[in-house]
Chain A
Amino acid sequence: MQPQLSSEPLVSYKLIKLHLIAAAIALLLSMAAGFLYSLQFLGYYPWPDSELLAPGHIRLIHTNLAAYGWLVNGFTAMTYYAVPRLTGSKVLSEKMGTLIFAVWQFALLASLGGFLFNRAQAIEWGETPTGFRPGTFDLNWIPVDLIVVIGAVLLITQFMVPIYKAREQKFYVTLWYFISGFVWLALTYLMGNIIPEWVLPGAAGAAVTGLFIHDLVGLYVTPMGWGLMYFFVPLILKKPIWSHSLSVIGFWGLAFFYPLGGVHHFLISPIPDYVEYGAITTTLAIEVVVTTVVVNFFMTLRGKWSALRTSFAIRWFYAGAVMYFITCFQCAFQVTWMFQKIIHFTDWVVSHAHMIMFGTFTFWLFGVIDWLWPRIVRREWHSTSLRAWHFWLSVTGIVVMFFDLMIAGLVHGFMQRELNHWTDIIDMSIPFWWVRTVSGAMLLGGLMCGLYNMYATAKSDVEYVEENHLIPASAD
């Protein structure tokens, strides 16, 4: 891998820019929706009488825009950067890239419309409308699921071409993750959206939806995120990854163990117990895998700790890696029956979801954006202090939200066990929900600093000069 930092036609900056802008807009909307929905919990929801803007609809918009609008667009953007550089050849075609872009954004808009008109599908994380009445083929909305699969297949074609051309080379581990991430995305999406609705009702279908929730985060978001780290960290630090063998172990561990844990989303349920034991055991195995990956990241940073001070991207990456480790440490407990009894169904799970989706994967994408944006628009960052505000507001906000909701979840779980009246549980939660909304406002504030900074950078007239951005090769 040779970082050639001048602009050259190998990489299509136009497509990267398009996807990054779409991603940024989606994240802003998604977080605004999350913020609005959190007001419902405080009794200050702004449109209590509107059917179209009902809180439930806003919640669907929140999670789906976060996953399909922000993460998918963001990951696609950085794949457009990484794959041509790793393989030495261009993606299939820029025209097709524009088409893919249009297909994804259309799918998003059609989903948003579907949510507002009660057309969501009852698959957690796959609420994008099927367009068909459950279990039949009567069309009642744009079949978004189909469009998403088409989009995924087009993406696979787009990136497989350069990868296939490079098939005689030894692949760097990032490519492994990207290949599998795209293949898994398409497979997972097909599985989760079709089987529970057309083939397997009830408890057997629940095993599939559990697997779907899990595969989507574990077999798409995680490999894309790891691949990104394996690519950008060595590129920015200008040193190889600490251990290639560990990264290979991480890959096969992920591929093998991750999808086996699907049922852990419905523990102590009518799904047979031995299936649950299997899911719990493999989930614990994933802990080991994740630890190897995190260790690898940190050993790579060894000797270059000063980069945390000099490079915002590295700061985002490693803050994300720390939070990754914290969440997965939390996971090791939450997956056991002992914890599940208490924390399942509570805010604890919400804290886990935000810490990992925002604190880790969103942070990593912010890191990429911080590094890539000046190179795309060929301008120096408009303001360093806005970058710092973005970072520190995000870190503080997410850490506060994490501990706040985790504690709320524990108390909720115990109160539920002790048969407290449900309204007492709500009464107890409301102060925690206030803290959640305030920390959410911090995240939003940070994001706005970041977005404004991106905009001002694109408009500024200070030319970007690569030489100013080299990290000194010397150790600390």
Chain B
Amino acid sequence: MERFYTLAFAAGIGCFAVAFVLSIAFPVMSLDNYKGMEYQSLEQLAETPSQSFVDLSTSYPEAFAEAFGEMNSESYGEALRRGRDIYIGQACWHCHSQYVRVVSNEEQRFGTPSTAQEYNNYLNQPHLWGTRRVGPDLAREYGKRTNDWHIAHLINPKNVVPLSVMPAYAYYFNEDGSPKRDGFSLVTYLQWIGSTYKGDPQP
């Protein structure tokens, strides 16, 4: 039992593999049983640009043309992907979670509890659930606020919520308040989060 090979293989690889199977293969198997779990690629997600993306393009035509050119599903997909990259790079996900639990009255505060199926897409690869809420959960942010609210909030959160401790992201916006490319992307992504929720899954 105390020999080199036993140790390296039984403990090092064996136990690791057992844990891998138990805590990963099982969830994968049972999650596959949910209907409506089909994986959505970025192209599928971006097929129809969201209303808020359309609104952004009409509210800030020049800035939008400069940032993305045309408003179409391709630029929408690009904005989603880029917005998510910033969300990751700026560590937004270390201050905001992206799942609503069934406990602690979270239904009343944030909205319907999260389901596994809504995360089965390109923009949750890897998922952005997070483990800390300095700010509120964002899993139900979809359509909750207007574009203008998000823009004002991102330029300086304290202008909207005086007590906020969220950092300001004014550098993603021009002097006149119109978004730059990154600003458009971030707002588009925020307005997308939770839009894949399509009712409770059928087991």
A residues near B (Cβ < 8 Å) are: 40-43, 45, 48-49, 51, 54-57, 59-60, 115, 117-124, 134-135, 163-164, 167, 170-171, 176, 179-180, 183-184, 187-188, 191, 195-198, 200-211, 215, 219, 251-252, 255-256, 258-260, 262-263, 265-266, 268-272, 274-275, 278-279, 337, 340-342, 344-346, 349-350, 413, 416-419, 422-423, 426-427, 430
Contacts and interface: CB of A to CB of B under 8 A. Distances in A.
Contacts of A191: 20
B26 A426 contact: no
B3 interface: yes
26 contacts: A42-B165, A55-B91, A134-B122, A167-B5, A176-B11, A180-B12, A196-B126, A197-B126, A201-B125, A201-B126, A202-B120, A204-B28, A207-B28, A210-B23, A215-B19, A252-B11, A255-B11, A270-B116, A272-B30, A341-B103, A341-B104, A344-B101, A345-B132, A418-B105, A422-B136, A426-B165
A331 B163 CA distance: 32
Contact of A135 (B104, B122, B130, B136): B122
B124 interface: yes
B133 A346 contact: yes
Interface stretch (B54-62, B167-175, B187-195): B167-175
A430 B165 CA distance: 9
Interface string B1-26: 01111011011110110111011101
Contacts of B164: 423, 426
A183 B163 contact: no
A350 B94 CA distance: 11
A255 B15 contact: yes
A211 B2 contact: no
Given A40-B165, A56-B91, A118-B90, A49 B104 contact: no
Given A56-B91, A211-B24, A259 B15 contact: yes
Contact of A275 (B5, B23, B90, B95): B23
A200 to B, nearest CB: 7
Contacts of B121: 201-202
Contact of B116 (A60, A202, A419, A423): A202
Interface string B133-157: 1111000000000000000000000
A268 B137 CA distance: 15
Contact of B131 (A41, A59, A124): A124
B72 interface: no
A259 B19 contact: yes
Nearest to A345: B133
Given A54-B90, A207-B27, A272-B26, 5 more contacts: A119-B89, A124-B94, A188-B16, A198-B125, A349-B131
Contacts of A349: 131-132
Contacts of A418: 105
Contacts of B8: 179-180, 183
A205 B89 contact: no
Contacts of B131: 124, 265-266, 344-345, 349
B127 interface: yes
B12 A171 contact: no
B85 interface: yes
B46 interface: no
In the complex, the 3 A-B pairs of residues with the closest C-beta atoms, listed nearest first: A118-B89, A202-B119, A56-B91
A345 B130 CA distance: 8
B198 to A, nearest CB: 14
Contacts of A188: 16
A57 B88 CA distance: 10
Contact of A120 (B23, B91, B105): B91
